[in-house]
Amino acid sequence: ANIIHYSRNDKLMKDGVLLKMDAGGELFGYASDVTRAWPVNGRYTSAQRDVYEAVLEVHQSCIQKCQPGASLRDLHSFSVRSLQTAMANLGITDGSSNYRRYYPHALGHWLGMDTHDTPSVGQQRDMV
């Protein structure tokens, strides 16, 4: 699910591929979004399962890092290092900066009155 948004939405879903969902919601005037991916046929291939498990492990490690004093920048940097290692272990990359092909954006963003309306809140700000 770590790809830039596909906006034409005219491709057929085929067996063996993943469906990406980028959904948003609002509650009491605050907006958020979440991105996920599922196998179209309900079953991951072996390679897809390996990637899923690696990303899930990094995700869970990032959640553990969400503590007072941590910033989105800190978490993003940690996620990059962790994903570089995971992708190298899977043989997807050599562990260098070519991770950007698979992870071209940030780990997350602040919530606001619109999903991306917080450009004045720095990524280095503590998340407390």
pTM over 0.85: no
pLDDT tens sequence for the chain (128 residues): 455 555 677 878 899 999 888 787 888 877 777 888 899 999 999 999 999 999 999 999 999 999 999 988 899 999 999 999 999 999 998 877 678 888 877 787 767 665 555 556 566 666 66
DSSP per-residue string spanning 63-88: HHT--TT-BHHHHHHHHHHHHHHHHH
Helix, strand or coil, per DSSP, at residue 99? helix
Give me the helices (H) in the chain, please: 46-64, 72-89
Q: What is the pLDDT at residue 1?
A: 43
**Spatial contact of 86 and 58, defined as CB atoms under 8 Å apart:** yes
| Cα 40 from Cα 21, distance rounded (Å) | 12
